Amino acid sequence: MNQLIYTHFLADWVALGGTGDTPHCGDVFARLEAGYGEPWRQFHDARHVLALLRKVGQVQSLVEDLPAVRMAVWFHDVILEPGDSDNERASANLWRELATGHLVPSQIDSVDKLILDTRHTVAPHSPDGALLADIDIAGLGADASVFSKQSEMVAAEFPAGRRAQCLSAQHAFMQCLLDRKWVYNTAHFRDRFESRARDNIGQFLAGGHAQAS
């Protein structure tokens, strides 16, 4: 990430009620840079965050609390241990740690809940949570070639010594999505991606490839 991206983060921080360009705000951004800049990340890096922020922009007329949703995007994958089930909770904890004392508690709580909605394990807690969860997995409904490329990038993040565990976790996640009545929570994303996502997930389960979450 760079200075231009920092200006976008700073705008989102201020929109949530934070003070402008302060040392603390710079420290928060530096923590994001460190997380998303880990050299082994092939998919869950700054490009992923920026792609999701663009998707938020495309549906912002449907969003109730845009600053909170955008901040949840910034933090949702900052802590990532491939194959682990508590990454989102760890990311939300980091958010809470860095925001406490600098933003009002209600906003901190809102972003925390939104980050946890990207676990996809329970129904989202709000309409914004439903939108964010769908944005997070919008790539499941990409064209097959794009989906395949994303799969390769996610697989490249798996440590060699834990590859089997990571693949098993991804397989269980994808099967859970396929078993739901709908992959996507909102009509907006169902109309656009539901059918293709189900086809891609079926191919994933048949071939055992990895895919993003």
pLDDT digits (tens, 9 = 90+) for 180-192: 999 999 999 999 9
Residue pair 155/170 in contact by the 8 Å Cβ criterion: no
Residue range(s) defining the domain that contains residue 203:
143-207
Query: Is 130 in the same domain as 149?
Result: no
Q: How far apart (Å, rounded) are the C-alpha atoms in residues 59 and 51?
A: 13
pLDDT digits (tens, 9 = 90+) for 130-184: 999 999 999 999 999 999 999 889 989 999 999 999 999 899 999 999 999 999 9
Query: Is 63 in the same domain as 31?
Result: yes
pLDDT digits (tens, 9 = 90+) for 194-212: 999 999 999 999 985 555 4
Query: Is 130 in the same domain as 178?
Result: no
When pLDDT is averaged across residues 10-26 and rounded to a whole number, the result is 94
Query: Is 109 in the same domain as 192?
Result: no
Query: Is 25 in the same domain as 102?
Result: yes
Query: Is 121 in the same domain as 178?
Result: no
| Residue 5: count of CB within 10 angstroms of its CB | 17
Q: Which amino acid is at 112?
A: D
pTM, two decimal places: 0.94
Give the residues across from 100 on adjacent strands: 103
On whether residue 17 sits in a domain, the answer given is yes
Helix axes 187-207, 163-179, angle to 10 degrees: 140
Give the per-residue pLDDT at 1.
Answer: 65
Residue pair 33/1 in contact by the 8 Å Cβ criterion: yes
On whether residue 212 sits in a domain, the answer given is no
Query: Is 96 in the same domain as 127?
Result: yes
